[in-house]
């Protein structure tokens, strides 16, 4: 071929490529479409959307392009609509919930949506049969009606936490998460000693599912590298299998204990007693997953606001004093309980304002559209991710004047747009935008509200929360940063130092005494239960066997619906060997 021909061909190819690029550019930046930052063909805005503190960049764009309460952007072909106004979130995620309640796939998890029947992660599932039956079951376990059962667990764990803070205050971040984890392990398996592993496991999943986690969540094509060259997939296989095996070992352990009549009340027992027959849960694998996921989801979600409570109180000693005064007046020296809640509006206002000021799921959780739609004249294609940007909702100056600052009075004084009466009931965190929207709204609102009231109230009763003196720098305190956190889907402040000063020696001794008493009482009750069970004095519970003649410790796993079995689900034989069967 002559040089001239080659040159002409090259020019033609480059010309075609440029024309194609311009065509895609025009389509992506259609002046009649939704506003948003200028999109670059194929990559969208992946080049300038930081993985860290992503919500701040989304908010920056919201201030520029979000005058209608939403704007569009793209990342490596994935279409996003960022919702920045609560009214638009209501329209799209509540009024049009039927269209907009699916979830986007998370690349670095196997079958995160349970499209292929893995049935593992309720909050991440697509809007499918597994999600709907698991949501129904989970809802039944944590509705108000069953709350009465778990209040005792919260009081118990708060007392343990106060004692741990007195004895080892510097370890407060770990003991705070451990408290939240112990509450969930106790409720789920009647065993708070499982908390350490459960927290580790929750952290593993949280990291794996977050854009700031493995790089394969952002550079998704890397996930498809062959197994041998793919460290991300191999690591996830290990994490996933261990987590599932652990959940199943817990589940089977409860069933075996029930068979011996030695299992006290907990959600797993409740399931095996009642729901394994009545609900449409397919078998042990699904049951252990839905119950295990429930335990896991209540750890970092609650630990986040609790950590930020410490920050709020350190920065606002005047509000800390107001909370303490309120508790002292209402409770007359004893620890606050949930029955005191109607008379503790200042405590509730400070908790709610902490969650507004420092939301712990600042980006919100994405929904995905299931069909093409038109909203206010704008076309929204099927498969678009709708991100309800909580950071923007909670910084709306019309609803929250002076949004960057901590103002609990916005919930307590007439004249503020958010003020609501009666103060015996309001403020309440239930229904906050932070808990999401429509059919996917969080199922843990009551549990969170109760746990925060008990834990924050107990802290105020026992301690003055203060900055800590820096011995290396006399006259100075260790800094408590306001804006340093991780960037996972559920965030928490970076490690910092602070002081937990008991309000008096008498209060300190009282807190230690209360814990000793509670611990001894718990040990006695557990021992009495076992003695009664072993002597045949506890009525035996009818335990449904996994199949006729199948021992209670054997696992049943339904057939996985799709050929992608290997990628989707853990193999039964491997599970059985992992749980030692």
Instruction: Write the interaction track for ligand HEM spanning residues 366-385; mark x where CB under 6 A is met and - where it is not.
Output: -x------------------
Q: What character string, x for contact with ligand HEM (CB under 6 A) and - otherwise, covers 278-297?
A: ----------------x--x
Tell which phi-psi region holds residue 121, choosing left (phi > 0), alpha (psi between -120 and 50) or beta.
beta
**Distance in Å, CB of 432 to ligand HEM, minimum:** 8
Contact string (CB under 6 A) for ligand HEM, positions 521-560, x = contact: ----------------------------------------
Annotated binding site for heme: 442
HSE (side-chain half, CA atoms, 13 Å) at 447: 27
Minimum CB–partner distance for residue 236 and ligand HEM (Å):
21
Question: Which residue shows structure tokens 């009081």?
Answer: 155
Residue 218 tokens read as 């952002």
**Near ligand HEM by CB under 6 A: residue from 28, 122, 254, 568:** 122
Q: Give residue for tokens 């991710």.
A: 385
Among 69, 117, 123, 457, interactor with ligand HEM by CB under 6 A: 123
- 39 versus 458: smaller Cβ distance to ligand HEM: 458
Instruction: Please report where in the chains the tokens 């119950």 appear, as a residue.
Output: 291
Binding track, positions 302-341, relative to ligand HEM; x by CB under 6 A: x--x------------------------------------
What is the distance in angstroms between the CA of the first residue and the CA of the last residue of the chain?
A: 70
Q: Does 436 bind ligand HEM (CB under 6 A)?
A: yes
Minimum distance from CB of 130 to ligand HEM (Å)? 11
Q: Which residue has the tokens 């200028």?
A: 38
- Is the CB of residue 125 less than 8 Å from the CB of residue 116? no
Task: Name the minimum Å distance from CB 225 to ligand HEM.
Answer: 30
Single out the segment in contact with ligand HEM by CB under 6 A; choices: 71-79, 188-196, 200-208, 364-372.
364-372
- By C-beta, is 191 or 256 nearer to ligand HEM? 191
439 vs 508, beta carbon nearer ligand HEM: 439
Applying CB under 6 A, the span of 171-179, 239-247, 299-307, 323-331 interacting with ligand HEM comes to: 299-307
Q: State whether residue 337 is helix, strand or coil.
A: coil
Strands 385-388 and 78-83: parallel
Cα distance between residue 522 and residue 165, in whole Å:
20
Query: CA 573, CA 565: separation in Å to the nearest integer?
Result: 14
Residue 560 to residue 576: CA distance in whole angstroms: 17
By the rule CB under 6 A, 441 interacts with ligand HEM: yes
Query: CA 548, 551, 556 angle in degrees (round to 5)?
Result: 75
Residue 88 binds ligand HEM (CB under 6 A): no
Using the rule CB under 6 A, is 502 a contact of ligand HEM?
Answer: no
Q: Which is nearer to ligand HEM, 39 or 275 (CB)?
A: 275
Strand ranges across the sheet with 78-83: 70-75, 78-83, 385-388, 367-368
Phi and psi torsions of 400, nearest 5°: -125, 80
How far is Cα 557 from Cα 308, in angstroms, rounded to an integer? 41
- Give the span between the Cα atoms of 173 and 175, in whole angstroms: 6
Distance from C-alpha of 285 to C-alpha of 249, rounded to nearest angstrom = 11
CB of 153 to ligand HEM, least distance (A): 12
Residue 440 touches ligand HEM, criterion: CB under 6 A: yes
Task: For residue 485, give both structure tokens.
Answer: 């956190």
Residue 434 contacts by C-beta under 8 Å, 6 or more apart in sequence? 355, 359, 360, 361, 390, 394
Q: Give the binding range for ligand HEM (CB under 6 A) out of 7-15, 411-419, 433-441, 505-513.
A: 433-441
Work out which of 66, 104, 192, 298 binds ligand HEM, going by CB under 6 A. Answer: 298
Question: If binding is defined by CB under 6 A, does position 361 make contact with ligand HEM?
Answer: yes
- What would you report as the CA-atom Rg of the chain, rounded to the nearest whole angstrom? 26
State yes or no: residue 437 binds ligand HEM (CB under 6 A).
yes
- Separation between Cα atoms, residue 218 and residue 52, nearest integer Å: 12
Number of residues that bind ligand HEM (CB under 6 A): 27
Q: Which of 198, 447, 462, 579 contacts ligand HEM by CB under 6 A?
A: 447
* Residue 202: CB minimum distance to ligand HEM, A: 11
Binding site for ligand HEM (CB under 6 A): 122-123, 135, 138, 142, 294, 297-298, 301-302, 305, 360-361, 364-365, 367, 434-437, 440-444, 447-448
């Amino acid at each position: 071929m002559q040089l001239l021909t080659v040159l002409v061909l090259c020019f033609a190819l480059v010309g075609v490529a440029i024309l194609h690029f311009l065509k895609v550019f025009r389509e992506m930046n259609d002046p009649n479409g939704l506003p948003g930052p200028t999109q670059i063909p194929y990559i969208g805005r992946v080049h300038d959307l930081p993985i860290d503190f992503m919500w701040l960049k989304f908010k920056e764009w919201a201030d520029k392009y979000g005058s209608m309460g939403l704007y569009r952007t793209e990342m490596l072909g994935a279409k996003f609509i960022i919702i920045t106004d609560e009214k638009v979130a209501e329209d799209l995620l509540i009024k049009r919930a039927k269209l907009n309640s699916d979830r986007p796939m998370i690349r670095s998890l196997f079958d995160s949506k349970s499209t292929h029947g893995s049935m593992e992660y309720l909050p991440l599932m697509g809007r499918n049969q597994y999600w709907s039956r698991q949501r129904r079951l989970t809802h039944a376990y944590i509705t108000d009606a069953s709350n009465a059962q778990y209040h005792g667990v919260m009081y118990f764990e708060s007392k343990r936490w106060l004692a741990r803070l007195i004895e080892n205050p510097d370890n407060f971040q770990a003991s705070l998460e451990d408290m939240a984890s112990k509450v969930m392990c106790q409720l789920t398996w009647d065993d708070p000693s499982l908390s350490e592993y459960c927290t580790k496991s929750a952290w593993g999943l949280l990291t794996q599912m977050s854009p700031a986690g493995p790089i394969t969540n952002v550079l998704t094509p890397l996930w498809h590298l062959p197994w041998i060259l793919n460290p991300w997939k191999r690591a996830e296989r290990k994490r996933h299998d261990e987590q599932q095996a652990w959940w199943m070992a817990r589940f089977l352990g409860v069933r075996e204990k029930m068979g011996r009549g030695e299992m006290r009340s907990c959600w797993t027992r409740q399931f095996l007693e009642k729901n394994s027959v009545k609900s449409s849960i397919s078998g042990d694998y699904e049951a252990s997953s839905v119950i295990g996921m429930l335990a896991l989801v209540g750890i970092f979600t609650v630990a986040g606001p609790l950590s930020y409570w410490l920050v709020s109180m350190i920065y606002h000693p005047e509000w800390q004093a107001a909370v303490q005064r309120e508790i002292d007046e209402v409770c007359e020296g004893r620890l606050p309980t949930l029955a005191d809640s109607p008379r503790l509006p200042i405590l509730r206002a400070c908790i709610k304002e902490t969650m507004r000021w420092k939301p712990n799921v600042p980006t919100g959780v994405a929904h995905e559209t299931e069909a093409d739609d038109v909203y206010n004249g704008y076309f929204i294609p099927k498969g678009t991710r709708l991100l309800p940007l909580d950071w923007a909702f909670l910084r709306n100056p019309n609803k929250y004047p002076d949004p960057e600052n901590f103002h609990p009075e916005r919930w307590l004084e007439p004249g503020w747009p958010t003020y609501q009466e009666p103060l015996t009931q309001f403020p309440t965190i239930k229904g906050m935008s932070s808990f999401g929207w429509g059919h996917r709204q969080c199922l843990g609102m009551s549990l969170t509200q109760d746990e925060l009231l008990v834990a924050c109230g107990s802290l105020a009763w026992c301690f003055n929360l203060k900055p800590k003196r820096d011995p290396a720098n006399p006259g100075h305190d260790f800094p408590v940063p306001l804006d340093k956190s991780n960037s996972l889907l559920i965030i928490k402040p970076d490690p910092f130092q602070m002081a937990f000063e008991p309000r008096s020696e008498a209060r300190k001794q009282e807190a230690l005494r209360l814990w000793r008493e509670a611990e001894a009482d718990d040990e006695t009750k557990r021992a009495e239960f076992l003695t009664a069970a072993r002597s045949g004095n506890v009525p035996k519970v009818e335990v449904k066997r996994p199949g006729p003649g199948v021992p209670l410790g054997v696992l049943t796993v339904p057939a996985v619906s799709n050929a992608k079995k290997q990628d989707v689900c853990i193999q039964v034989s491997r599970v059985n060997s992992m749980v030692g069967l």
